[in-house]
């Protein structure tokens, strides 16, 4: 079990940054309501990226980018359809005239993959299909309405019309076509679905295929900001050029994906499932930093390409099986038969559960684990958004249990009366939980180096840490430059534990608290030796820079070739540079996809090159769930009594060297 996150700083690859700003659209009097506001109205349509099934859609009256309980809300059906009923009371509420239609979550029916980001549309008709095209319109309107000035319904209508004209001009489409269903019209108006796919996939590429919804929103907002400067009829490529003049390397990758989409429509006869699969694979390449160019002879364009195997392999990768075996693929083929399409792995979950085949049972377990991981992430995001603060008090005790860790341990955290937090860690051995000690734990695995006063100081996890408690019930950890607060606390009646493959019923009084963390200053941390894929351990910064320049991952500021004497420049997804702090040199690699919170760093230490990261001042981590004593007792009993077979590894091996 890793040390509790109160004292173990982890690498963060996704960042919470921008919150939806501004206002929205008004429901057109002539189309869906009259000025008397004496009856309910309905807005219906589809959520489209391909169709988004089981997504959340609402009229975002609070304008906070989430669907609140009191807002008109629905879940899309299997074909992406939704209907919102808007009562007279809602029509009279503050914020109604500035509200946007909002969609998030759900799955893309053409790939079976989770949809990332949010789509918007002006709520200006009885039928509105929400797509990447309408999102650009909505974002442009929001920018116009960001001031404190109150706009009339007529003024908002004019701003919606003006934004539609701009988007129609750039993409060479009719204004009336903007809110149509591009999937339904793929045969008669194929340019609409092409544009929708190009916009969304270019946006995702600009964020390095991140799972960070806020980073995706930032790109949409930047595109909307630059609509006026984009060229007539030149589409998303022109908009990328105008919006990212300072980051053309990333824009080039996004434009390559749009060209692949255009080619795929031609080579794959407009088959949206195959085209969506291709873009999904392109984004995987982007995330790995690989090239995405596809020629006419690409395997995906060949007549004999095995699409069934491709869909199965992609589905297995979605549940964490990075290198699916031939046996797994063949077992699914045999079980599913001829009805293989995107999403086949998740869609066949019930069939796998009852199968006698060992491979399929293991796949079922992996599906359940992935579903719970996503659910837990959603719960953390919800806790952060709800913000129902609970005060820390002296004497409180929390228990951290990672449901997805295979070593089945937990941590006990006591907020001591003497302004000291005490940590104890327990691990499962021979059907009993025992406390970890130095004799059964490798403390070297926890060594980190922290930059203090221009020098690297070793920091080893301790069983205690000092704290201050302010009048608002917020903890300050001086030695870690962090504030810690309880974002939310909820009762829980059931908890799914993937290690057991079962739901554990929780006794009355079981609670989960979500702990949030905020950095008070920049923190430079080294935590692993730098090791290349070849096995070579690097020793100096110049050696590392030379290799990165040779691989053309690093270039100069103007994008030309660099060498081991260069001190800074560009990367494919950001910039790099060497700076001196005190007596040490640090190479920083900043990822442009994220506005704050995550930069890699490299530094020489004792004749070896180390790798680490910066956690920036003000950065807030995702909330971490901690349980009370009633809940942890139920969890412990379930694990002690449970039949978990080979699912649990005791003790877990920790890898300390990080490979490139």
Q: DSSP string covering 82-147, please? A: EEEEE-HHHHTSTTGGG-EEEEE-SEETTT-PBP-SEEEEE--SSB--B-HHHHHHHHHHHHHT-S
User: Cα–chain-centroid distance for residue 550?
Assistant: 31
Last residue of a domain, one of 615, 630, 646: 615
633 domain-assigned: yes
Task: Report the C-alpha dihedral over residues 54, 60, 61, 63, rounded to 10 degrees.
Answer: 150
At 17, the pLDDT band (50, 70, 90 cuts) reads: very low
294 domain-assigned: no
Please check the confidence at residue 361 and state whether its pLDDT lies above 60: yes
Instruction: Kindly report, residue by residue over 24-49, the tens digit of the pLDDT.
Output: 333 343 344 444 456 889 999 999 98
Reading the block at residue 64, the tokens are 């906070």
Reading the block at residue 58, the tokens are 């609402």
- Say whether both 141 and 201 belong to one domain: yes
**Half-sphere exposure in the Cβ direction for 229 (13 Å, CA):** 12
At 644, the pLDDT band (50, 70, 90 cuts) reads: low
Reading the block at residue 297, the tokens are 């002879």
DSSP label of 187:
T
Please check the confidence at residue 549 and state whether its pLDDT lies above 70: yes
Name the nearest CA neighbour of 113 among 215, 255, 211. Answer: 211
Q: How far apart are CA 563 and CA 543, in angstroms?
A: 10
Please check the confidence at residue 441 and state whether its pLDDT lies above 60: no
The predicted structure's pLDDT at residue 37: 55
208 domain-assigned: yes
| Chain length of the chain | 660
pTM here is: 0.65
- Say whether both 163 and 256 belong to one domain: yes
The predicted structure's pLDDT at residue 406: 62
255 domain-assigned: yes
The predicted structure's pLDDT at residue 45: 95
Mean pLDDT of the chain: 82
DSSP label of 479:
G
Please check the confidence at residue 284 and state whether its pLDDT lies above 60: yes
CB 554 within 8 A of CB 568: no
Reading the block at residue 612, the tokens are 């680490």
480 domain-assigned: yes
Determine the angle formed by the axes of helices 235-243 and 213-225, rounding to 10 degrees: 90
Please check the confidence at residue 15 and state whether its pLDDT lies above 70: no
Last residue of a domain, one of 380, 406, 438: 380
Q: How far apart are CA 323 and CA 252, in angstroms?
A: 29
- 350-354: Cβ within 8 A, 24+ apart: none
At 467, the pLDDT band (50, 70, 90 cuts) reads: very high
Question: What sign has the CA pseudo-torsion 244, 247, 248, 249?
Answer: negative
The predicted structure's pLDDT at residue 574: 78
- Say whether both 272 and 140 belong to one domain: yes
Q: How far apart are CA 94 and CA 18, in angstroms?
A: 23
For Cα atoms 263, 269, 274, give the angle at the middle one, nearest 5 degrees.
75
Q: How many CB atoms lie within 10 A of CB 657?
A: 10
At 500, the pLDDT band (50, 70, 90 cuts) reads: confident
Strands 584-591 and 574-581: antiparallel
24 domain-assigned: no
Residue 653 DSSP SS3:
coil
At 446, the pLDDT band (50, 70, 90 cuts) reads: low
Q: Which of 16-20, 250-254, 506-510 has the lowest mean pLDDT?
A: 16-20
Domain of residue 156, residue span: 29-288
DSSP label of 545:
H
The predicted structure's pLDDT at residue 327: 92
The predicted structure's pLDDT at residue 22: 32
Query: What string of H, E and C letters represents the secondary structure of 386-433?
Result: HCCCECCCCCCEEEEECCCCCCCCEEEEEECCCCEEEEEEEEEECCEE
Instruction: Kindly report, residue by residue over 388-401, the tens digit of the pLDDT.
Output: 678 899 999 999 99
At 438, the pLDDT band (50, 70, 90 cuts) reads: low
- Say whether both 513 and 548 belong to one domain: no
- Say whether both 359 and 410 belong to one domain: no
504 domain-assigned: yes
- Say whether both 376 and 394 belong to one domain: no
Reading the block at residue 276, the tokens are 């969506």
Domain count, the chain: 4
Give the H or E element holding residue 483: strand 482-491
Instruction: Kindly report, residue by residue over 199-234, the tens digit of the pLDDT.
Output: 999 999 888 767 667 788 889 999 999 999 999 999
Contacts of 368 (CB under 8 A, 6+ apart): 349, 496, 498, 501
The predicted structure's pLDDT at residue 390: 85
- Say whether both 217 and 243 belong to one domain: yes
Find tokens 């969609």 and name the residue: 103
Residue 659 DSSP SS3:
strand
The predicted structure's pLDDT at residue 643: 64
The predicted structure's pLDDT at residue 224: 93
The predicted structure's pLDDT at residue 148: 64
Strands 624-627 and 511-519: antiparallel
CB 33 within 8 A of CB 506: no
- Say whether both 534 and 601 belong to one domain: yes
In DSSP notation, 228-288 reads GGSPTT-HHHHHHHHH-TT-HHHHHHHHHHHHHHHHHHHHTTT-HHHHHHHHHHHHHHHHH
Q: How far apart are the first and last CA of the chain?
A: 25
Determine the angle formed by the axes of helices 307-318 and 272-288, rounding to 10 degrees: 50
- Say whether both 603 and 624 belong to one domain: no
Which segment, 316-320, 378-382, 412-416, 640-644, is predicted with the most confidence on average?
Answer: 412-416
- 318-326: Cβ within 8 A, 24+ apart: 318/112, 318/113, 318/345, 318/346, 318/370, 319/345, 319/346, 319/363, 319/366, 319/367, 319/369, 319/370, 320/366, 320/369, 320/370, 321/363, 321/366, 325/359
Instruction: Kindly report, residue by residue over 566-608, the tens digit of the pLDDT.
Output: 999 988 767 899 999 888 999 999 876 554 446 889 999 888 8
Q: How far apart are CA 627 and CA 4, in angstroms?
A: 13
- Say whether both 274 and 257 belong to one domain: yes
Strands 658-659 and 523-531: parallel
Please check the confidence at residue 101 and state whether its pLDDT lies above 90: yes
The predicted structure's pLDDT at residue 18: 26
Instruction: Kindly report, residue by residue over 338-350, the tens digit of the pLDDT.
Output: 888 888 888 888 8
The predicted structure's pLDDT at residue 592: 62
At 119, the pLDDT band (50, 70, 90 cuts) reads: very high
The predicted structure's pLDDT at residue 278: 93
- What's the whole-number mean pLDDT along residues 183-189? 93
Q: How far apart are CA 84 and CA 127, in angstroms?
A: 10
Reading the block at residue 225, the tokens are 């900001």
The predicted structure's pLDDT at residue 419: 93
CB 484 within 8 A of CB 472: no
Please check the confidence at residue 654 and state whether its pLDDT lies above 50: no
293 domain-assigned: no
Q: How far apart are CA 193 and CA 550, in angstroms?
A: 40
The predicted structure's pLDDT at residue 583: 84
- Say whether both 442 and 542 belong to one domain: no
At 660, the pLDDT band (50, 70, 90 cuts) reads: very low
- Say whether both 393 and 540 belong to one domain: no
Please check the confidence at residue 23 and state whether its pLDDT lies above 70: no
- What's the whole-number mean pLDDT along residues 630-643? 88
- 267-272: Cβ within 8 A, 24+ apart: 267/296, 267/300, 267/301, 268/300, 268/301, 270/186, 270/187, 270/190, 272/50, 272/110, 272/183, 272/186, 272/193
* 610 to 524, 528, 535, 539, 582: CA distances (angstroms): 12, 6, 14, 8, 18
């Amino acid at each position: 079990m890793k040390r509790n996150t109160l004292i173990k700083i982890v690498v963060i690859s996704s960042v919470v940054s921008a919150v939806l700003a501004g206002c929205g659209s008004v429901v057109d009097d002539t189309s869906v309501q009259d000025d008397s506001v004496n009856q309910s109205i309905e807005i219906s349509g589809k959520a489209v990226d391909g169709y988004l099934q089981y997504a959340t859609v609402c009229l975002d009256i609070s304008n906070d980018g989430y669907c609140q309980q009191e807002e008109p809300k629905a879940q899309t059906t299997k074909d992406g359809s939704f209907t919102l009923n808007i009562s007279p009371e809602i029509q009279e509420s503050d914020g109604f005239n500035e509200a946007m239609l909002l969609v998030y979550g759900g799955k893309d029916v053409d790939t079976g993959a989770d949809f990332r980001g949010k789509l918007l549309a002006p709520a200006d008709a009885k039928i509105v299909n929400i797509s990447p095209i309408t999102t650009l319109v909505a974002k442009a309107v929001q920018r116009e309405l960001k001031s404190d000035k109150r706009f009339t319904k007529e003024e908002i209508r004019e701003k919606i019309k003006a934004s539609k004209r701009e988007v129609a001009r750039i993409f060479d489409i009719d204004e009336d076509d903007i809110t149509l269903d591009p999937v339904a019209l793929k045969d008669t108006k194929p340019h609409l679905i092409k544009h929708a796919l190009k916009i969304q996939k270019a946006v995702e590429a600009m964020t390095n295929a991140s799972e960070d919804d806020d980073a995706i929103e930032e790109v949409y907002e930047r595109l909307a900001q630059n609509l006026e400067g984009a060229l007539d009829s030149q589409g998303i490529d022109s908009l990328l050029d105008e919006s990212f003049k300072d980051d053309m390397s990333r824009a080039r990758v996004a434009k390559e994906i749009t060209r692949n989409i255009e080619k795929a429509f031609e080579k794959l006869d407009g088959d949206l499932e195959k085209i969506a699969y291709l873009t999904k694979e392109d984004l995987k390449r982007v995330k790995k930093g690989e090239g995405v160019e596809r020629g006419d002879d690409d395997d995906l364009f060949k007549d004999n390409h095995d699409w069934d195997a491709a869909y199965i392999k992609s589905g297995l990768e979605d549940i964490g099986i990075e290198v699916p075996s031939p046996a797994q693929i063949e077992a699914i083929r045999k079980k599913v038969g001829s009805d293989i399409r995107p999403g086949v792995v998740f869609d066949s979950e019930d069939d796998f559960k009852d199968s006698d085949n060992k491979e399929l049972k293991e796949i079922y377990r992996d599906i359940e684990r992935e579903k719970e991981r996503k659910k837990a992430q959603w719960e953390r995001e919800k806790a952060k958004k709800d913000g129902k603060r609970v005060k820390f008090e002296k004497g409180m005790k929390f228990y951290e249990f990672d449901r997805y860790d295979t070593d089945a341990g937990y941590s006990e955290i006591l907020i001591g009366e003497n302004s000291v937090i005490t940590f104890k860690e327990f691990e499962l051995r021979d059907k009993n939980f025992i406390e970890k000690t130095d004799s059964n734990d490798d403390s070297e695995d926890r060594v980190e180096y922290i930059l203090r006063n221009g020098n690297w100081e070793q920091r080893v996890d301790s069983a205690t840490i000092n704290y201050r408690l302010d009048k608002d019930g917020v903890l300050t950890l001086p030695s870690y430059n962090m504030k810690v607060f309880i974002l939310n606390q909820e009762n829980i009646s059931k908890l799914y534990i993937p290690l057991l493959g079962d739901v554990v019923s929780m006794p009355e009084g079981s609670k989960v608290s979500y702990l949030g963390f905020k950095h008070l200053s920049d923190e430079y941390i080294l935590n692993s030796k730098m090791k290349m894929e070849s096995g070579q351990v690097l020793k100096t910064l110049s050696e590392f820079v030379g290799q990165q320049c040779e691989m053309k991952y690093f270039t100069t500021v103007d994008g030309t070739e660099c060498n081991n004497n260069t001190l800074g420049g560009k990367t494919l997804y950001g910039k790099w540079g060497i700076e001196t702090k005190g007596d040490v040199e640090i190479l920083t690699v900043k990822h442009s996809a994220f506005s704050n919170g995550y930069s890699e760093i490299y530094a020489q230490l004792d004749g070896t090159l180390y790798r680490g990261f910066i956690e920036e001042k003000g950065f807030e981590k995702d909330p971490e769930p901690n349980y009370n004593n009633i809940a942890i007792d139920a969890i412990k009993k379930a694990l002690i009594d449970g039949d978990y077979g080979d699912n649990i590894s005791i003790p877990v091996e920790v890898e300390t060297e990080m490979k490139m």
